[in-house]
Chain A
Amino acid sequence: MATYYLNVPLTDEDVVQLKIGDLVYLSGPAFTCRSRLQRYIFDEKNKLPFSTEQRNLLIHVGPIIVRENDDWRLVSFTPTSSIRFEKWGAKSVKEWGLKAIVGKTTMGEETAQAMKEHKCVHLSPQSVSPNLWLDSIKIEDVYLFDELGTIEAAWHLQLDKFGPFVVDIDCEGNNYFEGIDTVVEENKKKAYKDLNIPADFKYTKLY
């Protein structure tokens, strides 16, 4: 398990070296997104109003940002669950040329496959620590604010050693959480015994 400090724009070389379980801190430009933005672009066929070429890091998040003295003040920021956006995951990786997605949980098989093909990773937080992250995030700009509202707009951020995040999907399509699943399933067998749940227990079918 290694720790990496990476700069955006991320290159293929930056991300292919990452293995599941590694920790990553990120610096440079990024943009935020959740379902309304992806629906707006991919389902409703609108054009993304900015280039992602130098900004190939997407963060799934619904921040709290308030308007104060003609400026934006970031109040709270924690990545939200990526798995909900699986429907648009592969498209986002491919069409936006992403090299990394930061979000809670993980993503599904289709996105993992796209990440393998296009060299991209998914990064997941191990803590919920908005106050430790506030100082490493600066708001640069916002797009689609009127169309999508504060939480779902595409915020442009400038990051300074934002992290740590664990690599949960690497460029080979491996998933960190599958390893945890194996441990949990194994431990569950003993837990059933401790709870006096018979190994062949079947529910009476009521519906």
Chain B
Amino acid sequence: MIKKEVLEHVIFDTIKKGSCCIPKDVREAFNRAIANERTQKAKEGFNNTLKSLDLSIERMNPACPDTGWPLFFLKVGNEAKIEGGFMALEELARNMVAKATKEGYLRATMKHPLTGYDPGTNVGMNIPHFTYKFVPGNDIEISYAAKGGGSECFGGTRYKMIAFADGLAGIKKFVIDAYSAAARAGAICPPAVLGVGIGGTGNIASALAKEAACLRLVDSHHPEEMMSQIEKDLYDSINSLGIGPMGSGGDTSVFSVNVEYAYTHIAGIAVALSSNCWIARRATTRVYSDGRTEELDNPNWFDGR
């Protein structure tokens, strides 16, 4: 039985780390970009951002004032037992989001969509949001993603239904057109970690794209060759466009293209993309059934990537 007291600490620390610390794979992507960029101006964009990100880790302050939508992703062991059950876990998570907001680890960003009412806690209707996945075992893995507003609001996250007749060309064209338009003038804070969802209903494709953007490592590859080839082709093509850091021109235009898919209806193919900003923030902690905890670099949300 995992105790509430343990969960409370773990959830708070995971939120804090998720808001203040970029993961190792994203840090590596910055280093690669600094090495590869051919102009001093583009190098500086990456360099200054990385310097600030490292200071955030040292000072434990938010990596960006936009601490985003608070999203929880829970990988739950089929036999896992939690004191008070999962409703207690969600209540704790809401309380910890409010606490992290009060202490300045999160900005009070979440508002009523129509009235603009700001509770000052980042807690409201359907927010924070929880996504579950069930796996064998009795541990739980809690991931927190701070999903930035820019990368969500300017067309970096959207979907389109396409006909089978339009096939792979239609899928690739939608992704490259939508991404390049969204990255214009740095709107989505490029180079993004780009998630692509193919197939399923519109919302299944969108959820896969979001999870691929927020939970898969930069430079990870889909285990099926057809999918990893699409990842590679889109990665190379987008990086040939010249978008650069904050859309100001450069050689690095996307950090990673992560594709996930679902079987689809004979009627059509949903294609979704979800961009995570260059300071792609997430943190994951595993809680064992005996209460031990372990911080993980890889959420391992999709098996083996």
Digit string of B169-191 for contact with A (CB within 8 Å is 1, else 0)? Answer: 11011001000100011110100
| B161 and A206 within 8 A (CB) | yes
| B41 and A126 within 8 A (CB) | yes
Instruction: Check B118 for interface membership: any CB of A closer than 8 A.
Output: yes
Interface residues of B in 67-88 (CB under 8 A from A): 67
| Contact residues in A for B66 (Cβ distance below 8 Å) | 62, 78, 80
A197-B173 in contact given A76-B62, A180-B247 (Cβ < 8 Å): yes
**Interface residue count for B (Cβ, 8 Å)?**
65
What are 30 A-to-B residue pairs whose CB atoms are below 8 Å?
A62-B107, A63-B65, A64-B104, A73-B104, A75-B62, A75-B104, A78-B65, A81-B153, A83-B154, A104-B189, A105-B184, A105-B186, A127-B46, A128-B278, A131-B52, A131-B55, A132-B48, A132-B55, A177-B247, A180-B184, A181-B184, A184-B241, A184-B243, A194-B233, A194-B240, A195-B172, A195-B234, A201-B173, A203-B166, A203-B170
| A128 and B52 within 8 A (CB) | yes
Instruction: Check A111 for interface membership: any CB of B closer than 8 A.
Output: no
| Contact residues in A for B61 (Cβ distance below 8 Å) | 75-76, 130-131
| B249 and A195 within 8 A (CB) | no
Cross-interface CB contact of A127 among B109, B118, B246, cutoff 8 Å:
B246
Interface residues of B in 134-170 (CB under 8 A from A): 150, 153-154, 161-163, 165-166, 168-170
| A150 and B108 within 8 A (CB) | yes
Interface residues of A in 184-199 (CB under 8 A from B): 184, 187-188, 190-192, 194-198
Instruction: Check B8 for interface membership: any CB of A closer than 8 A.
Output: no
Interface residues of A in 56-87 (CB under 8 A from B): 61-64, 66, 73, 75-78, 80-81, 83-84
| B107 and A64 within 8 A (CB) | yes
Closest Cβ of chain B: how far from A23's Cβ, in Å?
Answer: 9
| Contact residues in A for B168 (Cβ distance below 8 Å) | 196
**Interface residue count for A (Cβ, 8 Å)?**
53
Most buried by A among B51, B166, B184, B243: B184
| B233 and A128 within 8 A (CB) | no
Cross-interface CB contact of A180 among B51, B63, B163, B243, cutoff 8 Å:
B243
Cross-interface CB contact of B65 among A77, A176, A191, cutoff 8 Å:
A77
| Contact residues in B for A203 (Cβ distance below 8 Å) | 162-163, 166, 170
| Contact residues in B for A184 (Cβ distance below 8 Å) | 180, 184, 241-243
| A64 and B65 within 8 A (CB) | yes
| B65 and A61 within 8 A (CB) | yes
Considering only CB atoms, which chain A residue lies closest to B268 in the complex? A206
Digit string of A114-131 for contact with B (CB within 8 Å is 1, else 0)? Answer: 000000000011111111
| B107 and A151 within 8 A (CB) | yes
| A190 and B163 within 8 A (CB) | no
Cross-interface CB contact of A187 among B187, B234, B241, cutoff 8 Å:
B241
Please give 17 more A-B residue pairs, beta carbons under 8 A apart, in addition to A78-B64, A104-B246, A151-B118.
A73-B104, A75-B61, A80-B66, A81-B150, A105-B154, A124-B185, A130-B56, A130-B64, A131-B56, A132-B48, A149-B118, A166-B248, A177-B247, A183-B249, A187-B241, A191-B240, A197-B173
